[in-house]
Amino acid sequence: MKRRYDKKEREESRASRVTPEYDYHIPVMLEEVCTWLITDPDGIYIDGTLGGGGHTAEILARLSSNGKIIAFDADEQAIEHCTKKFAAELDKSNSRLVLYNDNFIRACSIGELRGKVLGLLLDLGVSSRQLDSGSRGISHRVNSRLTMSFGSHGNTAEDLLDGADEREIESILKKYGEEPFARVIARRIVQRRRAAPLRSTFDLRSVIEEVVPPHIVSKSIARVFQAIRIAVNDELGVLEKTLRGIIPVLAPHGRIAVISYHSLEDRIVKNVFRELADKNQDTPPELKILTSKPLPPSDEEIHGNPRSRSAKLRVAEKI
């Protein structure tokens, strides 16, 4: 039977989000996610975006000894962190936790999970550690190598900016960043790399600062970094493929909970959910949408964790 949480427990859970326990990353909408996601404490659940393990820890706390959580992260540092964080659980002979150093799309192809998973969580935000440390070149505030890849393999932002032509770069900045100065920024990137390739985050920042008016340059920098990161990791393509591919993995009434942080992600989640819940198509609907509108974080949470302010939670259930 699903455990009921009283008002005091919910308040304590919210307060815990901003404690030193979350030194890696503060999990967003923790109470809301667990309330919507966990329908049976004996079930199998997937955390597709492990990060610092905040959501995974709370899900584990609410599962029975028969429950299980399978967590994915392409970032080796996140896996290393959580291997230590959950050492006691992982050392058990009947451990309820399995960690995969892989992209969450891998969950769609694990044969033994087919038809058994009761919930998939995707928190699509970049972790605070990745933003603050600058180790991946994701943050424009820290001077570091232009990587932007969530893992250590595959193409990097440096590769993209070295190899793409002006039109391709402009298209990426428009499509994934909705950047109004995409054309002039793309042109300047190509001009600059003829003299020397862009190798650091500050190299890229300086290009943007050269061609965008000072009073709006900070917003352009954020949009450009977002666009290139999305392109390097194929984030939107992977998201859509996962939302479609996870359906056979879910058990009947299994749920998908997705936290998105910008309109491009949210639009994909909304459109895929609507398409798979459409009763007017030739094929029967596969999902039932449980959140008619995306759920925002509480004012209290935003106050304690300002990075949560743009979060939107959508939930759907397999029919």
User: What tens-digit pLDDT sequence spans the chain (319 residues)?
Assistant: 444 444 444 444 443 333 445 556 689 999 999 999 999 999 999 999 999 999 999 999 999 999 999 999 999 999 999 999 999 999 999 999 999 999 999 999 999 999 999 999 999 988 656 555 556 778 898 899 999 998 877 789 999 999 999 999 999 999 999 999 999 999 999 999 999 999 999 999 999 999 999 999 999 999 999 999 999 999 999 999 999 999 999 999 999 999 999 999 999 999 999 999 997 767 889 999 999 999 999 999 999 999 899 999 999 999 9
CA angle 182, 187, 190 (to 5 degrees): 125
pLDDT number for residue 13: 41
In a domain, 1, yes or no: no
If asked whether residues 35 and 182 sit together in one domain, one would say: no
Boundary residue ending a domain (233, 258, 280): 233
Domain shared by 186 and 221, yes or no: yes
pLDDT at 128: 58
pTM of the model: 0.88
Three-class secondary structure of residue 97 per DSSP: strand
pLDDT, residue 279, reads 76
Q: Provide the domain limits for residue 33.
A: 7-129+236-318
Please tell me whether residues 12 and 120 are part of one structural domain.
yes
Q: Evaluate whether residue 288 is within a structural domain.
A: yes
Please work out, in degrees rounded to the nearest 5, the angle formed at the alpha carbon of residue 90 by the alpha carbons of 84 and 93.
155
Of 203, 257, 191, 213, nearest in space to 30 by CA: 257
Largest CA distance in the chain: 66
Domain count of the chain? 2
Q: Whole-angstrom Cα distance, residue 122 to residue 63?
A: 18
CA distances from 199 to 161, 171, 195 (A): 9, 21, 12
DSSP calls for 201-224: HHHHHHHHHHHS-GGGHHHHHHHH
For 269, the token pair is 């989640």
By DSSP bridging, strand 68-72 and strand 312-318 are unpaired
CATH code of the domain in which 155 resides? 1.10.150.170
Give pLDDT, residue 17.
38
pLDDT at 7: 45
Q: What is the pLDDT of residue 21?
A: 55
pLDDT for res 133: 56
**Domain end point (choices 202, 233, 264):** 233
pLDDT of residue 189: 98
Indicate which CATH number applies to the domain containing 107. 3.40.50.150
Q: Return the pLDDT at 154.
A: 75
pLDDT of residue 283: 83
Answer for the pair 210, 188: CB distance below 8 angstroms, yes or no: yes
Q: What is the pLDDT of residue 103?
A: 95
| 117 and 159 in a common domain | no
